[in-house]
Structures are given as structure tokens and as C-alpha cells.
Structure 1
Amino acid sequence: MTPDRFARYPSLRGKVVLITGGGSGIGASMVEQFAHQGAKVAFLDIAETISQELVKSLTEGVEQLPFFLPCDLTDISALGSCIQNAEESVGPIEVLVNNAANDERHEWEETTPEYWDRMMAVNLRHHFFAIQAVAPGMKIRSQGSIINMSSIAWMLPGTRLPAYISAKAGIVGLTRTMARELGPSGIRVNCVLPGAIQTEKQRRLVWTPEYIERILAGQSIKRTLMPEDVARLVLFLAADDSSAITNQSYVIDGGWV
């Protein structure tokens, strides 16, 4: 539940929000926070068990449970069908959060063309086609907010992630061109670039004492950043409070880059 000290956005109440990769990590925090704002939330994820568990956990303080649809976002045809299903079940999509990604470590010397294409499909391609699917409805209503999730990894730059980093840099470019394409129709497109966020996956794979020390040394704010820190920024970009903001990229990394 949203603590009293954090903002509530009346414009999000009843708003239809679609989140990709909403079953875990930052995406799950977004699902939870939008639901507690009174939004009508639909989310897509390939991981069915944890997604269903997330829905079951959101029974307190939520007027309408999130609507989960299993979806492999690398299958663009399936993505389109899921978006259509979400709109038929929840309503016309007013906010799209392109969140799904996989920051799988890989060595540049061992990266094959097939692996590169798969990483683009997982981390970049579905952003565009999700926008393509929801934008016509937003244009009819002359409003909408699209938030694409990038990363500071390409700004540092990071290592052992060349395909992932290339995709995340591409998301910033996609944001800028689509903001220009859709702005005349009243649709805003912005980008969020998280730093090191302590998700369950990160704790499991990389969150060692040495890693924490390196992260905190790089950050100006000396505390661990959590998924809800990112979700609260996304809430603002989805709400009418940010109605004059588009074509922007927001870094949330504790002052690292």
C-alpha cells in the first residue's frame, strides 16, 4: 500500500494502465503502486506462477485486482493479441509502460548473430510494437502516456552486456522519435533510466557485499535503491501532473551518472 507520505494522483484513479514484464522486480512494484492509486491495471509477463501470486497478494486496499495475461513478448503476434484482450477486458489503454527486459550477462567475443537478435527481441523490439498497438486508440482520445524503461548501463558504460546496453540506448532514441510522432495527437512519450535497483533477481544473481560497495561508491546518495523508488517516478509520468512533459529521459540512480 502507498504510505501516506507519498503522493496520490487523482488523475490515475480509474485510468487503464498496461505494464509489460509486470510479474516481478520493478514491474511488479509498478503493478502494485498503480493498483493502489485506483488505476485499472493489466500486465503481461511470461512467468505465470509469480504473476498469479502477485495478483493474489494485492487484495488489501485495491478496488480492482490487476488483470494478468501470460505473454511471450518476443512473439509480436501474441503481443498484439494480448493487448487487444487487455483492452476488451479492462478498457482502452491510457498508459503504456514498456518495462520488460532481460539483463543477461554475455561476453562480446562469444555473442552470435542469433543471440544478438534474441536480445534485441527481448529488450527493444516489443517496445515499438506495443506502442504501435496502443497508439491508435490513444489518438482517438487525443491523450495518452507512454513510458519506456531504459537503463543507465549504456551511460556508464557497463561491460559484459553489449547487446543489452545497445538495446537500452536504442530505447532512448525510440522514445525521442515517437514523442515527435505522437505529440501532435496529445500522446506523451518519456523514458526512465534506473541505476542499480535491488530487485529479487539482482539479489539472487549479483548482490554481493563487493557489488553493494561498488554501487554505493558510485552513487551520491548512499542508500540502496528499491523498485518502489522507480515505480513512484513512473506514477508521476503517467499522471496528469506531468501533462506538459514529453520527449524526456529521467535518470533515477542515486546520483551515479
Structure 2
Amino acid sequence: MSALPPRPASVPPLDPQRYAPSAERPLRAKARQMAHQMNIQPHEHAWAQLVFSVAGAVRVSARHAGADSSYLVPPARAVWIPPGVVHAVTAVEQADLRTLYLGEPAVQALAARSPGGGWRHCRVLEVSALLRELVLQLAACADDPLAGAAARQRDAAITTLVVDELAQARALPLGLPLPSGPRLRRMCEAMLEQPLRHPDIEGWAAEAATSPRTLSRWFRDELGTSYAQWRQQLLLARALQLAARKQPMQLIAAELGYASPSAFSAMVTRAVGMPPSRFFAEA
């Protein structure tokens, strides 16, 4: 396999205790500017987290219950990370990041408002305009001391609104499972770094010094999915990134290797259950 581009230098997360939720402030938020390829080192904490970018795309890598996943999301989407999950964040491009921290009372309220167990797993969510503004406001006031009844009432009101917006947020199939086997893991990491380096499985198989049939078997055995299904999820995430840059649909379809916009539109509709005009509208 050819050499990959140099890995970005990693940096530690901002002091988590500084932004830790508490009984007085069950919901905390912070802002962080991330340069292209900046990588926040793997870490975990006792509270839940919502990660999204106001501008620029980020990749969230997470390990949960012994399995690794990667989530590539642009603005208007966010990654939900349950408590105790090891995760890292990489800026695919220069990003204006916002992080929302939810203490146990807020997580319990969310689970009661939207039951079903989905909040125990990482997933990608749509971010409504109201949720975006609530998090922006919380992050803007993150370092302001809160004291007095008025401040506590404000925090309680915002917490209620955030929980309500999160409970109604649509989950999107944008997560990519990552294998534990070293050969396929290197291949998947290479595809995440440069998804358009090869247009088909033959090119990736040649780079891995194996056959297309063997590479297909690796995906089935290690990930329980096909190469085509895995790559489709990767291309959807890439398409969202391009849409966030206001690229027209024809150019997005062409860059991702589709023969026509209609073929690309059909793929998106099958994958996410909605036409591209809606799926990309908020990006």
C-alpha cells in the first residue's frame, strides 16, 4: 500500500473540568477554532456530548463497546456521544467547532422525552436552527459566572429547549464502522483520508496488493457489510461536505463519479429516504 499523507499533529482537549456540567449548570457549551487537519486527542468524560461545526467539516472517531466508528459531518449535522465513550475529533477542513456537554439529569430528561435506547449509542443528528442558536448562545456565555435566581432560571429554560430539540432531531445513517483487522483498517483509513483516490474496488484492491474478491470478503467478514455499502456512506458524507461549500448538484455528482445527477439523486434517496434537495438543504 502506498504511503498515506502525514498525520496531523494532535492536541489535548481543552480542560474538561472547566466546562463540566453540574447541578447548578446541567448544560455547558464551549467554542473552539480548529485549523485544517488539527486533531483533538482521544479522551472520554462522564457526561454526554454533542459535537457540531458552525463552519467546516469535522471527523469524529469513537470507540464504543469495543467497536470503532467514524462520523464525517458538515454544518447542520452533529454527532451525539454518550457518557464514557472514547472519542477524538479531526478537522477535515478549517472548522468553527461547538461542543455541548449534558450532565446526567439532562441525559435522563432526554431519554424520557425520546425513549428507545438510541441515546446509548453514537449517532449523527440533524441540527435545527433553534438548536444551533441555543448552543451558540451557551458557548458565547460559557465563561460568564452564573449567579442568582435569574441566571438559574435562564439555564433551566435553555436546558428544556435543548432537550426538546434533541428529542425531535432526525438521526441520519452517516456513521462508518471501522474494522479491527490491520489490513482492512489501513484501507478504510486511507479511504477516509482520500475517498476519491480510486473510483472502484479494483483500484483499492491493487493498492492493498490483493484481489477485489478478497477485499470484498474482508468487508463482509469484518464489518458485516459490502464494500459498495460502506463506500456509499463515505460518499454521502463527502457530498454533504461539498454541499456545505455551496457546490451545485451537478458538480457534486460528477466529483463523486456518478454518470449523471439523476443517478446520484437516486442513490441519495435510497440511502437516506429523502431527495438530495432536502438532505442537502441545511448543509
* Both proteins in one fold, TM over 0.5: no
Larger Rg: 2
Q: Is the helix fraction higher in 1 or 2?
A: 1
User: What is the TM-score of this pair, normalised by structure 2?
Assistant: 0.27
Q: Is the strand fraction higher in 1 or 2?
A: 2
User: What is the TM-score of this pair, normalised by structure 1?
Assistant: 0.29
